[in-house]
Chains A and B, each alone.
Chain A
Amino acid sequence: KAGVTQTPRYLIKTRGQQVTLSCSPISGHRSVSWYQQTPGQGLQFLFEYFSETQRNKGNFPGRFSGRQFSNSRSEMNVSTLELGDSALYLCASSPSPLGLETQYFGPGTRLLVL
């Protein structure tokens, strides 16, 4: 079975731009969670989608949004980018909602905002 894939792997943007990141979960997995990882704040939960519905959201501003499609693929969008948004963005998939079964992480998308 193929693992979780994330595209693109690397991205450079400038302040004020917007960005869309993509995550393809493991086949059959219906839950996709997104995380931001930075040296200063560590790994922080952004939001989780299960069967196209957002189940919960972390403490991030409204500039961070996401969605999930009927095939369970998910996208995350960040609008009006700030320097502090530079980070590794990870997604993880699981067969069931978060916490009930093991979630598997993708390799991440490294975003640099200049």
Chain B
Amino acid sequence: TQLLEQSPQFLSIQEGENLTVYCNSSSVFSSLQWYRQEPGEGPVLLVTVVTGGEVKKLKRLTFQFGDARKDSSLHITAAQPGDTGLYLCAGVTTGFQKLVFGTGTRLLVSP
């Protein structure tokens, strides 16, 4: 069974602070995706990283895929209340058979 462990599980910070969320596995994935989910809605894709060592930036969010394609991180700079939500990483298994989701990180950014 392929597992993706996220840390931390919960994060409560003040507006303007920086944070990093980690997503780790012992398995290799074809690619890794990051989603954000808000209450009452389905997850929304933020980014897909495909190449080991790849770094992608989306405004204040920076995503990195580990060299061995087993882990990833999400760094948010100067967090804002609008960043509040559940962040999920998801690995696409080799052969594109299915998506394995991480355990989730619930982020609360207070004004």
Contact = CB atoms under 8 A, between A and B. Distances in A.
Interface of A: 4, 33, 35, 42-45, 48, 55-56, 58-59, 90, 92, 97-100, 102-108
B43 A99 contact: no
Which of B41, B43, B92, B99 has the most chain A CB atoms inside 10 A of its CB? B99
A18 B41 CA distance: 24
B45 A102 contact: yes
A97 B95 CA distance: 11
Interface residues of B, number: 23
10 tightest A-B CB contacts, nearest first: A105-B42, A99-B96, A43-B101, A99-B92, A56-B97, A45-B98, A56-B98, A90-B42, A105-B43, A42-B103
Interface in B94-111: 96-104
Interface of B: 1, 30-31, 40-45, 48, 88, 90, 92-93, 96-104
B42 A92 contact: yes
